[in-house]
Amino acid sequence: MSRHQVRVLVVLALAAYPALYHLLTQSPVGVEAETLLPRMDTMVALLYFGLFAVSFDFISGYTGYLSFGHAAFYGTGAYFVVLVANGKIPLVPSGTPFMITLLCAGLVAALLAVGIGLVSFRLSGVYFAMITLGFAQVLYVFVRGLEWISSNPRDGASVSGSTHPEGFEVGVPFVDGLNLAIGPLSGDTVTLLGHTLGTNAVSFYLVGAVVLACYLAMQRIIHSPFGQVMVAIRDNEERAEAIGYDTFRYKMGAFVTSGFFAGVAGGLFAGFRRSVTPENTFYFLVTGDALLASIIGGFGTLAGPIFGHFFDESIREFLSPAGQGGGLLPYLQTRLSEGVLSAEVGGLTVEGFIEAALNGHASLYVGIVFVLFVLYVPNGLVGAARDRLGGPVTEKLPDRLWDR
Amino acid sequence: MTLLELDGIETYYGESHILEGVSLSVGEGEVVALVGRNGVGKTTTLRSILQLTPPREGSITYRDEQLVGLETHEVADRGVGWIPEDRRIFSQLTVAENIRVAVPDRAAVDAALSLAYDTFPILEERQGQDAGTLSGGQQQMLALARGLVGDNDLLLVDEPSEGLAPQIVADVGEALAEAARDTTLLLVEQNLPLALDLADRFYVLDNGRVVDDGDAEEVSADSDRLRRYLSA
């Protein structure tokens, strides 16, 4: 059982987060807590995008084939959910329960992965990365120009208020009382132990449950014989082939599985945000963010990208200007006294300096952190912990903590 | 009965012509040594058989079936195993996973593990460890174990003694002799005493051609015969 302890702890910590955040922000250190801790909607974004990063790691970190066009699957899942909601997809009516729509979104993305994989796995190494990137960029341009999607496809599409005035009905099977909805408009609140959860917290738990289920499924696959062949392919593909494995079929299987989960992640994104644009779904920088999360968290660790993305997003939010998360900049602007702010050092007021150093430069600092990680923590957060402990963190950490 | 027959194979890496009409045969139950200097095409011969580097011309038959044109995994499915040189194992899988992955038939995994651990008890002690952390000799034992459990009728063994301490070479030799009891071996080896001790017959490769062949016992007594092809 010991290998589950760490996972259970992480899940419990996440589950306790909304209550903790609520308590801390109401407490005397509320302003500091708001400055340091990610807001609830950031936490939801962290979960669905974390799932996307995990699906990227599933194919790229475990088989060694870098799927640089992974955004194509995320975008497909996201657009699918919005288009279903707007009644544009035949056979899937607008009122379909969200969970079923989500499943379909994953399947459509998986189908796309079959097509892209059949062509791309003729190549390997950097050529594989480039051709998948090419496919994603073609789709990006295509979606930008496709007027069937909305009147202005360049700006993407939104869930229509006339079909879905509120959030998506999740439709928890067999439990009518739990007919919750996802998304900031849902208006659903749940009272638990005398504590009322806001709409973002409800979405947080619903998205979290889906992400957890997907993560555990991928975890199972990685530790199955199929997953061992994936690692064998990464290690030495010729040798895996010479043992008798049809490596093409294994690569396709892994790619399609990964595409499915990326589609689900995109579907969660669209369900929560209710609008999608080509830039935040199909664009190559979306894959870039997953790559960043994987490198910071650790390639080939599966859970690592979630932590990596958490790290990345926390820094971004902490350094973002007022109105976009209330990070360090507004904190300093409101907490430092007038005298300090207007003091001049070398022709520049302190306020001006803070503004110049912090406003809108989050990406710069994230970039510096990224370079430091590549240089000094090449195996990422989870990979470095694994090296330190001499084995998988979930197995070794409990021994370290309790048995000695 | 002939198990494997190579007839005039011509293999290229890009434009460089590596094998220039290699012909050889391996009988069922035999141990055949393929010897020669570095860079004469020994490994390429094995890669050609496995279709990792398919020959442009010539034929390779295994149990009277043409292998040229098949995929590598199809060659492996027919019972041809490979114990490659250099990095011999999947370094990021554990010892036990390395053995398990060598047995595509899931039902046979337990038997395979006990066969491997009986042959090399050290592997049982190290079963949970990443294979990349084993010593060179242990890695070679693991590679041999994988070849043994793969239910192969023909094992292509590439430089099993390369880079190993003399004591380990003796262990590897014993393991190969053990393997040879119920498997046919085509053995590429630079360590001539080891190769000739194990082999029934030998072929000498030089510049992509077979330049000599014969009975291993005969040539062991006549040490000058091979020297000119093998000394650098």
Which of the four pLDDT bands, split at 50, 70 and 90, describes residue B218? confident
SS3 label, residue A343 = coil
Long-range contacts of A169-175 (CB under 8 A, 24+ apart): A169/A95, A169/A97, A169/A98, A170/A97, A170/A98, A170/A99, A170/A206, A171/A97, A171/A98, A171/A99, A171/A100, A173/A99
pLDDT band with cut points at 50, 70 and 90 for residue B205: very high
B71–A246 CB contact, under 8 Å: yes
The SS3 assignment for B7 reads: strand
Strand partners, B19: B11
Q: Say if the Cβ atoms of B90 and A242 lie within 8 Å.
A: no
Alpha helices in chain B (DSSP H): 42-49, 72-77, 95-101, 109-119, 121-125, 136-149, 166-180, 192-198, 216-221, 224-230
CB-based contact (8 Å) between A144 and chain B? no
Using 50, 70 and 90 to split pLDDT, how confident is the model at B22?
very high
User: Angle, to 10 degrees, between the axis of helix A40-63 and the axis of helix A284-297?
Assistant: 80
Name which of B52, B87, B93 is nearest A232 (Cβ-Cβ).
Answer: B93
Number of domains in chain B: 1
Chain B positions touching A243 (Cβ under 8 A) are 73, 76, 81-82, 101-102, 104, 146, 150
* Positions in chain A short of pLDDT 70: 1-3, 165-167, 169-197, 321-326, 402-404
User: Do residue B73 and residue A232 have CB atoms under 8 angstroms apart?
Assistant: no
| The two structure tokens encoding residue A383 | 């990979």
Token representation of residue A356: 């110049």
Chain A residues closer than 8 Å to B82 by CB: 239, 242-243
A245 touches chain B (CB under 8 A): yes
Please give the residue range of the domain that contains residue B218.
2-89+155-230
**Domain for residue B128, yes or no?**
no
Question: Between chains, do B76 and A244 touch, taking CB under 8 Å as contact?
Answer: yes
Q: Distance between CA B40 and CA B34 in Å, rounded?
A: 11
Query: How far, CA to CA in Å, does A98 sit from each of A146, A272, A277, B81?
Result: 25, 11, 20, 50
Residue A176 confidence (pLDDT): 47
How far is B60 from B44, CA to CA, in rounded Å? 14
Segment B72-80 mean pLDDT: 93
A262-311 pLDDT, tens digit per residue, is: 999 999 999 888 889 999 999 999 999 999 999 999 999 999 999 999 98
Q: Is residue B24 part of a domain?
A: yes
Kindly report the nearest CA distance between residue A232 and chain B, in angstroms. Answer: 6
Task: Please check whether residue A229 touches B, CB under 8 A.
Answer: yes
SS3 content of chain B, % helix, strand, coil (to 5): 40, 30, 30
Q: What pTM was estimated for this model as a whole?
A: 0.86
Question: Could you please report the per-residue DSSP string of B90-115?
Answer: -TTSBHHHHHHHT--SGGGHHHHHHH
Distances (CA, A) of B135 to A139, A392, B91, B118, B131: 49, 22, 11, 19, 9
The reply to whether residue B91 touches residue A242, judged by beta carbons under 8 angstroms, is no
Picking from B52, B77, B101, the nearest residue to A232 by CB comes out as B101
Query: Which of B44, B73, B113 is the best residue to mutate to test the A interface, defined by the most A CB atoms within 10 Å of its own CB?
Result: B73
B78 to chain A: closest CA residue: A244
For residue B59, the model assigns a pLDDT of 95
Nearest to B87 among A229, A236, A240 (CB): A236
Q: Is B37 within the bounds of a domain? A: yes
Q: From B211, B191, B182, B213, select the one nearest B200 (Cα to Cα).
A: B213
Say which of B76, B91, B106 has its CB closest to residue A235: B91
- Of residues B73, B84, B101, nearest to A228 (C-beta): B101
Instruction: Please report residues of B whose CB lies closer than 8 A to that of A238.
Output: 52, 72
Domains of chain A: 2-319+361-403 (1.10.3470)
A75 Cβ contact partners less than 8 Å away, ≥ 6 residues apart? A136, A139, A140, A143, A266, A276, A278, A281, A282, A286
Residue B67 DSSP one-character state: -
| CA pseudo-torsion sign A134, A135, A136, A142 | positive
Cβ <8 Å between A241 and B71: yes
| Residues in contact with A162: Cβ distance below 8 Å, sequence separation at least 6, in sequence order | none
Which distant-in-sequence residues (6+ apart) come within 8 Å of A175 by Cβ?
none
pLDDT at residue B162, rounded to an integer: 84
Count other Cβ atoms within 10 Å, centred on residue A196. 10
- Whether B117 is covered by a domain: the verdict is no
State both tokens at B9.
Answer: 């194979």
Burial class (CB in 10 A: 0-12, 13-18, 19+), B231: exposed
| Closest residue to A242, CB basis, from B52, B91, B97 | B52
Measured distance CA(A97)–CA(A36) in Å, rounded:
36
- Considering chain B, what is the average pLDDT of its residues? 88
User: pLDDT: is B34 or A403 the higher one?
Assistant: B34
Q: What pLDDT, on the 0 to 100 scale, is given for residue A278?
A: 95
For the domain that residue B46 is a member of, what is the CATH number?
3.40.50.300
Q: Residue B78 in 3-state DSSP?
A: coil
**Across chain A, which distance is largest between two alpha carbons, in Å?**
75
Residues of chain B with pLDDT > 90: what percent?
A: 47
Q: What are phi and psi for residue A66, nearest 5 degrees?
A: -75, 115
Put simply, the answer to whether A235 touches B93 (Cβ < 8 Å) is yes
What percentage of chain B carries pLDDT values higher than 70? 97
- B131: closest CA of chain A, how far (Å): 12
Question: What do you get for the CA distance between the two ends of chain A, in Å?
Answer: 18
Higher pLDDT, B111 or A342: B111
Q: Count CB pairs under 8 A between chains A and B.
A: 63
In a domain, B171, yes or no: yes
Per-residue model confidence (pLDDT) at position B154: 94
Give the model's pLDDT for residue B204.
Answer: 92
The answer to whether position B109 is within a domain reads no
Q: Which two tokens stand for residue B209?
A: 């051609």
Q: Which of the pair, B222 or B184, is modelled with greater confidence?
A: B184
Please give the Cα distance from A377 to A369 (Å, whole number).
10
In a domain, B211, yes or no: yes
Closest-CA residue to B39 (of B232, B193, B219): B232
Give contacts of B100 with chain A, Cβ < 8 Å: 225, 228
- Interface test mutation site (partner B, options A230, A243, A246, A395, max chain B beta carbons within 10 A): A243
